[in-house]
A and B are shown apart, each in its own frame.
Chain A
Amino acid sequence: MDTGGAAVLRTGESGRFLPERTRRAPVALVIGGSVVGVLAALPVVYLLVRAFEAGGGELFETLRRPGLLVLVLRTAALAGVVAGASVAIAFALAVLTAATDLPMRRLSSVVSVLPLAVPCYVGASAVVGLSGPGGVFEGMGAVRGFWAAAIVLTLFIFPLAYLPLRASISRVDPRLIDAARSLGESGLGATLRVILAWSWPACVGGGVLVGLYTLGEFGAVTMLRCDTLTAVIYEQYRSSFSRTGAAVSSLLLVVLVLACLGVGGLLRRRGSWSSGRGSSRGGVTLKLGAWRWPAFALVMLIGAGPVLLVVLTLLSWLGYEGGAGGVGGGLWSGAATSASVAIAAGVACVLMTAPAAVLAARYPGRVSGLVERAVSTGFALPGIVVALGLAFFALRATPFAYQTWGLVVAAFVVLFAAQSLMALRASLERSPVRLEEAARTLGRGPVGAFVGVTLPGLAPGIGAAWVLVTLSAMKELPAMLLLSPAGSVSLAELVWSSTREAMFASAAAPGLALIGVSAGLVWLVAMREGLT
């Protein structure tokens, strides 16, 4: 297919040789790479089919259901409140840890992402237990409802916004702060007028991330009795006569997801921020003066406080009846279930995204673009929506797969493929094509060159992708609830069902195990962000 050396390689603007655009990807690679894209697109497509085949009348009836509008508004409001509050907290912590002379900045940075180590539903379980009968906060009345859910979610997921904000703020050019102060702006004013404006794209990006997460959150909101669309989808699906209703509610949730992305796009465009190049020398260091230690205490309180509260609560429950000893059997089988499914999901995800990653890194084009878009859609979708779409598809097309582990693994692949694809692609792009070409000139075929030269260098990337997916799958709740075969219970399900039935003691051990799993994830993330 090569039409002479000059046509195969052309000099890019940067002066480097780039692969010729017209170089065709091998057909096998295109097919292999598309599989994960098709799988990722399947749930939404099938939900659409399921909702509309019921016919206009039934669809209309479902949409007119009393209370549905309130539900949609409540879901949107919760996402908005949690996103706003998270960005506010994350901005304050990011400024303190990345742009001031806060004591022990490295420790403070790690503590600022620590809340991610507590899955929201584990946090909610502890809060519900503490405010219930016999709990420490019993006198305060039950902690339930919208604001309880908003506070709990904010406290445990604001680090999703903190990470991009910290990265952005640490690149602010210190001269800009000097310039603002020489123009009469106070320290606080300069922080807000320069740093906030500079990191605005990161604020919006972080807010969207938190918003998407909140829209899909299931465990915490149901425990705290703040029913959102996810809770209703679950109920509708369980009461099997209302499956069209579940499909319609899921599509409404997808609409909210799109709205969230749309609002993000609008906010980001506002004022059309030009992307500054960022500072090459060290970042800003604002002097906190007498506020250094109080600020440090604040960071510790926000970052470590809720985590400590939850961990200590769960530990104290271990001692109760039905604690560590009582659910021993359930705990171990739950752990085995969670671990085996998650490990399988990790392997499946890496295997399925690998061709797509090679396609995206080596043959960027229309196919790879579509696959990447489909995969990132899967990441933005709530777990319950993906699970429902796959359940409908399996019931109709492959009934033998319904209620099998295969379907659960498929759902996890859709949900977490984006993480794996990003990790693989990044490590592929770091390994130079030049080496492969050298191997080709030494007599290796294309596959031989890839396996012999590129693959060994990918090991860390593959490892990272697998660990990311496996740990994320361990703590996943709604897809597991919907799709797992009858009779098997994962750790996440154990926490959820124990809390629902007010048997808090039996939520303690699986909750602690899940915190351990998530702590591993946090450690990975912190390492990648250079916080440790």
Chain B
Amino acid sequence: MTECKAHAICCRSLSKSFGETPVLRSLNLCVDRGELVCLLGPSGCGKTTLLRCIAGFEHPGAGSIQIGGKTVAGAGLASPVAPEARRVGVVFQEAALFPHLSVLGNVAFGLSQGRGLLSRLVRGPGRAERARAREMLDLVGLADKADRRPGELSGGEQQRVALARALAPEPEVVLLDEPFANLDRSLRLTLRREVRDALKACGATAILVTHDQDEAFTMADRVGVMLHGEIAQIDTPERIYEHPADTRVASMVGRGALLDASVEDGGLVCCGLGRVSADGIGEACAGAGCSVFVRPEGLRLNPEGCPRSVAGRVVRVEYAGDHRLVTVDIGNGAAIPVKVDPNLRVSVGTEVGVEVVGPVRVVRGVKPPSPVTVSAKRTAEAGRGDR
């Protein structure tokens, strides 16, 4: 475990169940100092539970968590370290600002821990605390709203205050739990930039949880794709997009065609798009079955009957401003998305040819983890209902 001194956060073999339902399955995650990691996953994949385990609001059933090289949960500890002793900042989905305090009071809340309880209770923030709080408000661009009440702020402003509040005590790591989910789209776009800038300006280590792929890709240094309680792949956004580790990641991130194929000699595979060269065949012997994956921009639409293309019929056309996405049925029920120039007018029903121009990748086929048996799930839910 000594290697983790280098990391701001290190989760090892983390498992957690609610009743009979496993939520985290032997999950591993290490985050470098100053790094911003986005965890991307569908709802129910355990990402919020992971954040709550790191923050100390939930305790993992097995495995260990280290923050700043210090073990806060897991083997060797009599009991998990309390949330307040972990030096972790949290930004919640609904900002969770203290309604009875001003904006400045909220940001200064975590700065008074050096004082006694009575002093914290009855006296407002001291001079140094106010200065630090103002500095943080400056960072998020809200210095002029220091004396407002949280109720007087817009949703975006509330989230910026929540970020300033989390950053103020210089935490080892900041955890952001879908912080933009309640905001409208245009606000979300600007806020993403501002939050990333603020985090980077502080040199903060951060984990952001989201189900929005754009958000994860535009903000993160590394993206962790989380599925069924484990991290399926963690890498830079580019690598995740271009080299999805398995079929689950491939079908979750971005669009593309996933096809069954069989390996042939000479780095070729045979699939619905014909005999094409593919990356990542590795040691597979000729004749073995595999899955291949190709992105819409790796395909080209040709007139019907063109050489090197596979014939198909257009079944759907989606216009997206800067491109058009044409879905082509090439038989056997395989619907292939192809990205084309927005000026290319094609109508549904046209017979076309599809040609492979970009990389085709062999991806590992992964079955979803053994599903919880129905009876076990029922008991778990019944147990929760009783509470």
Contacts and interface: CB of A to CB of B under 8 A. Distances in A.
Contacts of B96: 173, 175-176, 178-179
A353 B237 CA distance: 71
A197 B98 contact: yes
Contacts of A182: 55-56, 83-84, 86, 88-90, 166
Contact of A178 (B55, B82, B113): B55
A271 interface: yes
Given A178-B92, A274-B100, A192 B121 contact: yes
B55 A197 contact: no
A88 B151 CA distance: 29
A268 interface: no
A190 B83 CA distance: 11
A184 B113 contact: yes
Contacts of B149: 274
Given A178-B83, A179-B90, A184 B110 contact: yes
B297 interface: no
Interface string B83-124: 111111110101011111100000001100100010011000
Contacts, number: 86
A133 interface: no
A184 to B, nearest CB: 4
Interface string A150-193: 00000000000000000000000101101111111111111011
Contacts of A190: 84
Nearest to A179: B96
B98 A186 contact: no
B165 interface: yes
A275 B84 CA distance: 27
B84 A186 contact: yes
Interface string B146-167: 0001110000000000100110
B203 to A, nearest CB: 19
Contacts of A181: 56-57, 82-84
B94 A175 contact: yes
A443 interface: no
B interface, how many residues as a size bin?
A: 20 to 34
Given A189-B120, A192-B121, A193-B121, A183 B89 contact: yes
Contacts of A197: 98, 100-101
Contact of A271 (B83, B100, B162): B100
A38 interface: no
Contacts of B90: 178-179, 182
Contacts of B94: 175
B125 interface: no
Contacts of B100: 197-198, 200, 271, 273-274, 276
Interface in B143-202: 149-151, 162, 165-166, 169
Nearest to B86: A182
A274 B151 contact: yes
A183 B96 CA distance: 12
Interface in A23-43: none
Contacts of A77: none
Contacts of A271: 100
B113 A179 contact: no
A109 to B, nearest CB: 17
A186 B92 contact: no
Select the residue from A179, A183, A198, A271 with max chain B CB neighbours within 10 A: A183
Contact of A194 (B56, B86, B98, B117): B98
A183 B89 CA distance: 6
Select the residue from A175, A179, A187 with max chain B CB neighbours within 10 A: A179
B117 A183 contact: no
Contacts of A189: 84, 117, 120
A488 to B, nearest CB: 53
A186 B92 CA distance: 19
B57 A178 contact: yes
B84 A188 contact: no
Contacts of A179: 90, 92, 96-98, 162, 165
Interface in B47-72: 55-57
A124 to B, nearest CB: 35
A18 to B, nearest CB: 26
B17 to A, nearest CB: 19
A197 B87 CA distance: 24
Interface in B248-295: none
A185 B84 contact: yes
Interface string A267-284: 000010111110000000
Contacts of B120: 189, 193
Contacts of A192: 117, 121
A197 to B, nearest CB: 4
Contacts of B84: 181-187, 189-190
B148 to A, nearest CB: 10
Contacts of B89: 182-183
B384 to A, nearest CB: 12
Nearest to A277: B99
Select the residue from B55, B117, B162 with max chain A CB neighbours within 10 A: B117
Contacts of B83: 178, 181-182
A198 B99 CA distance: 8
A70 B117 CA distance: 37
A15 to B, nearest CB: 23
Contact of A175 (B86, B92, B101, B150): B92
Contacts of B57: 178, 181
Contacts of A188: 117
A273 B86 CA distance: 30
A190 B57 CA distance: 14
Interface in A83-121: none
A191 to B, nearest CB: 11
Contacts of B166: 182-183
Nearest to A197: B100
Select the residue from B82, B98, B117, B162 with max chain A CB neighbours within 10 A: B98
B92 A184 contact: no
Contacts of A273: 99-100
Contact of B98 (A176, A187, A277): A176
B65 to A, nearest CB: 15
Nearest to B55: A182
Contacts of B121: 192-193, 196
B370 to A, nearest CB: 32
Nearest to A196: B121
B127 to A, nearest CB: 20
Contacts of B97: 179
B266 to A, nearest CB: 57
A30 B166 CA distance: 58
Contacts of A194: 98
Select the residue from A194, A196, A197, A274 with max chain B CB neighbours within 10 A: A274
Contacts of B169: 183-184
Interface in B15-67: 55-57
B6 to A, nearest CB: 24
B88 A276 contact: no
A200 B121 CA distance: 13
Interface string A54-90: 0000000000000000000000000000000000000
Select the residue from A184, A186, A194, A197 with max chain B CB neighbours within 10 A: A184
B117 A180 contact: no
Nearest to B121: A192
Closest 7 CB pairs of A and B: A183-B110, A276-B99, A175-B96, A181-B83, A182-B90, A197-B100, A184-B113
29 contacts: A175-B92, A175-B94, A178-B92, A178-B96, A179-B97, A179-B98, A179-B162, A181-B56, A181-B84, A182-B56, A182-B89, A183-B84, A183-B109, A183-B165, A183-B169, A184-B84, A184-B87, A184-B110, A185-B84, A192-B117, A193-B109, A193-B120, A197-B100, A197-B101, A198-B99, A273-B99, A274-B100, A276-B99, A277-B99
Given A192-B117, A273-B100, 4 more contacts: A179-B97, A182-B90, A185-B113, A193-B121
Interface of B: 55-57, 82-90, 92, 94, 96-101, 109-110, 113, 117, 120-121, 149-151, 162, 165-166, 169
